[in-house]
Amino acid sequence: MNAIRSSHLFLALSLFLSFSFTSSTRLTLHQGSSLSIGNADNVLTSNDGAFSAGFFPIGPNADCFTIWFSKPSCSIPNCTTVWMANRDEPVNGRFSKLSLRENGDLELIDAGGTVVWSTDTGSSSRSSTNLQLLNTGNLVLRDDKHATLWQSFDSPTDTLLPEQKLTSNTPLVSSRSKSNFSSGYYKLYFDNDNLLHLLFSGQTTSVYWPNPWLNSWQAGRSSYNDSRVAMLDHYGNFISSDNLTFLTADYGAKIQRRLTVDPDGNLRVYSQADGGKWMVSWQAKSDPCTVHGICGPNSLCTYHPSEGRSCICAPGYEWENLYDWTKGCKPKFNSFCDSKVETEFVELPHSDFYGYDKGFFPGYTLEMCKKICLDLCDCLGFQYKFSNCYPKLLLLNGHYAPRVNGSIHFKLPKLNVSYDIPKIEHATLQCTAKEIMLPRTYLKRQESAAVKILLTFAWAIAGVEAIVVLMVWCFLYRTRPEKGGAHIDGYHAGLTGFQRFTYDELKKATRNFSEEIGRGSGGVVYKAVLSDCRVTAVKRLNEANQGENEFLAEVSTIGNLHHMNLIDMWGYCAEGKHRLLIYEFMEHGSLAENLSSPTELDWPRRFEIAVGSARGLAYLHEECLEWVLHCDVKPQNILLDSTYQAKVADFGFSKILKREGLKNSSFSKIRGTRGYMAPEWIYNFPITSKVDVYSYGIVLLEMVTGRSPSGEHEKIEGSDAQEIKKFTSWVREKKGLGVPAHTWIEEIVDPRVRGEYDIKKIEILVAVALKCVEEDRDARPTMRQVVEMLLCCEDEDV
């Protein structure tokens, strides 16, 4: 018996080897055959290799039949999944199979023989049906006449691929979490009003996108077209019958994209960058705390840059389940309707709970509002905002952030001591990694003599194969060029997030810090070639006055921001007093360098750079609720890749604002660079995201005029604040002369740029720039609005 078991093991091993080394890919599954779990040949691959379908482990001894992206190659389970047949009912990790039956029915059969999932296409008259995975990622079951009997595109899970139609019958439902693929709480669907909505459906149900207080036309939608169909095309254009349309940030390029309802309730388009990494190229909600249900009843959603989104219990409440925030918090006191107790109101400023009001009382004083809530025994508190009173019967969809107007006053039993007002820093979810262990047991099989002979035979073949494989491997290993191996390693590093480097490695990679390519805030940047041949930029931070943990916390925050217009961080080094960051290398250097020799930067490129860097900044500001401010936006910090796509660099670590920092705006040091600094710095006003908007405005003016406010190319005389003022009012005056656009534009545009310019676009750039550099920060637009303004006229040009 032991011998048989070890022969099993060896068989599995050799089959695995033969699978991974001789890459036997399978393109078609024919009628009457099946894909078995743990079998070498168990993966269907699309013709171009971009997609694979097969068994995918989601826990020990639990598998789902899955389609995933397989280009560039990835190792299961670290592959990006697209679709699952049985996300809510995983099968055993052994003896399960996907069978295309003789009657044409496709069935997923668990180890015990139960049919867990099927396409219901069985019919006695079927012949030569086959299953294929198309290059679009669609798994298609066809009959002999090439008619489609079933396709995975008709039953999406959480992801929509380009050319796949989203209809009223095919909603997208998020996964439960990043590691739990079963159906979660968030749904993208067409409702009876013909509009595309995002819905939270847990213990309660509520629509949160488009914003529920807007009607369809306010949200830019139309409810007249009842065809209820939406689609993303190959170029990044999304069109829905409710008139929702958008272009992804990288519109135009034909690359892999996917539209996914993430477990956090946001709808995002991801685009695959070089190396296989997925970048956000569009998202529905810019504020992660406005997604409903993310924090359960009696808790509030809050955002902290280094911890991400978290939930906190309202004062007087405690966690229902520390391991699952969606369960919310329970009161530490009895219902006010059951017992007469003395009560008090405890105020939590900048907080809100959406919905479940017992009426709306406009123009009430705080005392009147308290009275209403006291008189209702089931009132749990009220929101008080701009003299309006909203008594609450349920505390759901809570939100706690500096930008929220109004306060919640909680009704609580009177205590001798004061209630704890929760702090954001206190919130940390207790993480547990529970794994699925299927209770079902295997069907014990008695191996017959025939099976034994077969096994012996297979063993013999496997042995021969193993020798061949070994020889081939040795041959490959000896002759493999450095670069080939490096590419694979590099890809893994890209997938698994960042890597920790030793100081010695980086010293070697930078050839003892010999090639300086730039200086940013707090450090010098060197070009480096890693041992796997990747070219990178290594930033060596000047002073290590930061503890290792603090440094790592900040690094992980920055490292978690992936956007196509933000520079990507690959790794770090924290060793002794050394602190280094490893970034992707940008072939075309900084915008500053390019502006000083402007031949390569024609007008269309400049416009693209303006849009790209605005997008990067908007992502920083909004995804992070204004807490990641750049504070040093300037042409030196906008880098250009090989296609001149703009990537914002140097963000986050110059300062990740702490909550206290935001409140009393006590920046210990003034940050930023002469020529680009907003007046707030000089007058010691509170620092908000509008300082970045200001600096961005100056950069725009610099791109249009070719003149630098800090006098790098063509000096404008005067002291700092005056200098900027002179620069901006020079443009403002030219524009305000009342002469036709082409006349004043002629006078201000960078004369060194050859080629035609589009007057309308320059006009937009200047108009946006001047709005951004308003002295009054409230008059400046947000970065999101900047992006919209820049793109407002794109459509007309096409």
Ligand X SMILES: *[C@@H]1O[C@H](CO)[C@@H](O)[C@H](O)[C@H]1NC(C)=O
Binding interface with ligand X (CB under 6 A): 59, 75, 78, 176, 180, 182, 222, 224-225, 227, 229, 239, 241, 243, 403-405, 416, 434-436, 496
By beta-carbon proximity to ligand X, the closer residue of 94 and 165 is 165
Contact (Cβ atoms closer than 8 angstroms) between residue 390 and residue 380: no
What dihedral angle (degrees, nearest 10) is formed by the CA atoms of 759, 764, 770, 772? -150
Neighbours of 771 (CB within 10 A): 16
CA distance 12 to 10: 5
CB of residue 297 vs ligand X: minimum separation in angstroms? Answer: 18
By beta-carbon proximity to ligand X, the closer residue of 233 and 600 is 233
Residue 47 sits at the vertex; the CA angle it makes with 45 and 53, to the nearest 5 degrees, is: 20
CB of residue 251 vs ligand X: minimum separation in angstroms? Answer: 16
CB of residue 483 vs ligand X: minimum separation in angstroms? Answer: 21
By beta-carbon proximity to ligand X, the closer residue of 528 and 787 is 787
- Classify residue 433 as exposed, middle or buried by CB count within 10 Å of its CB (0-12, 13-18, 19+): exposed
- What is the Cα gyration radius of the chain? 30
539 is in an annotated binding site: yes
By beta-carbon proximity to ligand X, the closer residue of 157 and 708 is 157
By beta-carbon proximity to ligand X, the closer residue of 174 and 710 is 174
CA distance 737 to 535: 50
Catalytic residues: 632
By beta-carbon proximity to ligand X, the closer residue of 37 and 230 is 230
Neighbours of 783 (CB within 10 A): 27
By beta-carbon proximity to ligand X, the closer residue of 240 and 673 is 240
By beta-carbon proximity to ligand X, the closer residue of 79 and 611 is 79
For the stretch 289-292, contacts whose Cβ atoms lie closer than 8 Å and that sit 24 or more positions apart, written own/partner, are: 289/399, 289/400, 289/401, 289/625, 290/208, 290/211, 290/399, 291/186, 291/198, 291/200, 291/208, 291/264, 291/265, 291/266, 292/200, 292/206, 292/207, 292/208, 292/265, 292/354, 292/396, 292/397
Q: What is the SS3 assignment for 774?
A: coil
CB of residue 506 vs ligand X: minimum separation in angstroms? Answer: 22
Contact (Cβ atoms closer than 8 angstroms) between residue 329 and residue 315: no
* CA dihedral over 318, 323, 325, 330, signed as positive or negative: negative
Nearest to 563 by CA among 343, 278, 788: 278
Interhelix angle 720-736/759-772, rounded to 10 degrees, is 140
- The distance of Cα 10 from the centroid of its chain, to the nearest Å, equals 42
Alpha carbon distance, N-terminus to C-terminus of the chain: 72
CB of residue 466 vs ligand X: minimum separation in angstroms? Answer: 22
CB of residue 393 vs ligand X: minimum separation in angstroms? Answer: 22
CA distance 667 to 663: 11
Residue 284 sits at the vertex; the CA angle it makes with 139 and 241, to the nearest 5 degrees, is: 65
Contact (Cβ atoms closer than 8 angstroms) between residue 470 and residue 462: no
- Classify residue 694 as exposed, middle or buried by CB count within 10 Å of its CB (0-12, 13-18, 19+): buried
CB of residue 215 vs ligand X: minimum separation in angstroms? Answer: 12
CB of residue 260 vs ligand X: minimum separation in angstroms? Answer: 17
Binding residue numbers for ATP: 539
